[in-house]
């Protein structure tokens, strides 16, 4: 990369044709984790952030987020034995938050997936507008964890499993011991829970957790970027970048892929043929019921034209 070209780039692009997703370099895709959102205009924010915005101005102080998290956690842990037998250790706050997130509690966790196709499904499945896929490069997040691990353990290498557990331990230490420590560095932890559930498995899911609950998720994310202002690129250029043209793959830290609503039907049609459906992604009758909401027909004849011409 030339010295005058930005590192840690934030790119925004628009998908023009469903088939173009398959033209992205597969090794490039594995560097990212993905989140689908039904509206292109939505920023990345946690359910807890969104909840407090709805409550504002009655709960305006950011410090209340920490107190709220502590009180909700305490009540959930106390009542949990009424509903389930197996439970994490009381001091394993990360695992507790992932369980709470799974069952609908607003938390500082944000859901992601390793699969761009699962994210695409989420972006278009229940959407009549233009959605988006957010792709975050895992490498800057991993490097930050490894730098801390190397500093503490005086080593020059570590396996992925070790670093995954170290990230969990770091996140849990912050949750358990530094709730009101405002000197904590802005950071996003990749959280792969030790306790899996069926939905997490089916959706190839994981979480991102901001180190500072009082810091908006997007602000933590932008701390990894050279600029919070995105560079607009054509999707064909993104295809080229994924193969190493102009940018090194590791220098693209954040990508937002806008999915215009005119592609929703055809995308759902082909995802269904790939067996990426609500029935597969959501266990039990919930998945079956959701799967019946998929459009079977299109009034736009162009949607049924062959993709490869």
Place of tokens 């950011």: 62
Q: Is the pLDDT at 17 greater than 80, yes or no?
A: yes
Helix axes 160-177, 138-153, angle to 10 degrees: 80
Mean pLDDT of 222-243: 93
Dump pLDDT digits (tens) for 102-158: 999 999 999 999 999 999 999 998 777 899 999 999 999 999 999 999 999 998 888
Q: What is the pTM of this model?
A: 0.89
**Terminus-to-terminus CA distance in the chain, angstroms?**
35
In the chain, where the domains are located: 9-292
Strands (E), the chain: 9-14, 32-37, 110-113, 131-137, 188-191, 205-210, 231-232, 252-259
Could you give the CA distance from residue 65 to residue 52 in angstroms, rounded to a whole number? Answer: 8
pLDDT at residue 301, as a whole number: 44
Mean pLDDT of 202-230: 91
Helix axes 93-102, 160-177, angle to 10 degrees: 90
Could you give the CA distance from residue 80 to residue 73 in angstroms, rounded to a whole number? Answer: 10
Could you give the CA distance from residue 215 to residue 203 in angstroms, rounded to a whole number? Answer: 28
Dump pLDDT digits (tens) for 274-306: 988 888 888 777 767 777 776 665 555 455 544
What phi and psi values does residue 169 have, to the nearest 5 degrees?
Answer: -65, -40
- Take residue 167 and report the two structure tokens written for it: 């990230």
Contact 189, 141 (CB under 8 A): yes
Q: Largest Cα–Cα distance in the chain?
A: 63
């Amino acid at each position: 990369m030339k010295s005058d070209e930005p590192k840690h780039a934030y790119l925004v692009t628009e998908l023009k044709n469903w088939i173009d997703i398959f033209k992205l370099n597969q090794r490039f895709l594995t560097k990212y984790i993905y989140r689908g959102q039904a509206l292109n205009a939505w920023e990345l924010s946690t359910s807890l952030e969104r909840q407090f915005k709805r409550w504002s101005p009655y709960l305006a102080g950011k410090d209340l987020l920490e107190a709220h998290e502590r009180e909700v956690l305490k009540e959930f842990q106390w009542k949990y034995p009424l509903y389930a037998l197996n439970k994490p250790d009381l001091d394993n706050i990360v695992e507790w938050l992932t369980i709470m997130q799974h069952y609908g509690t607003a938390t500082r966790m944000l859901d992601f997936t390793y699969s761009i196709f699962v994210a695409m499904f989420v972006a278009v499945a229940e959407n009549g507008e233009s959605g988006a896929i957010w792709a975050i490069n895992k490498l800057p997040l991993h490097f930050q964890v490894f730098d801390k691990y190397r500093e503490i353990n005086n080593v020059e290498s570590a396996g992925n499993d070790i670093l995954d557990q170290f990230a969990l331990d770091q996140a849990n230490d912050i949750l358990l011991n530094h709730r009101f420590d405002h000197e904590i560095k802005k950071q996003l932890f990749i959280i792969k829970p030790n306790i899996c559930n069926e939905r997490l498995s089916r959706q190839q899911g994981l979480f991102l957790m901001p180190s500072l609950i009082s810091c908006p998720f997007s602000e933590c994310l932008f701390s990894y970027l050279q600029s919070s202002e995105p560079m607009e690129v054509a999707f064909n250029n993104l295809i080229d970048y994924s193969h190493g043209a102009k940018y090194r793959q590791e220098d693209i830290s954040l990508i937002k892929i806008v999915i215009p609503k005119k592609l929703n039907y055809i995308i759902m049609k082909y995802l269904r043929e790939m067996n990426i459906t609500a029935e597969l992604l959501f266990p039990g009758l919930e998945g079956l019921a959701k799967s019946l909401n998929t459009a079977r027909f299109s009034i736009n004849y162009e949607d049924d034209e062959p993709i490869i011409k």
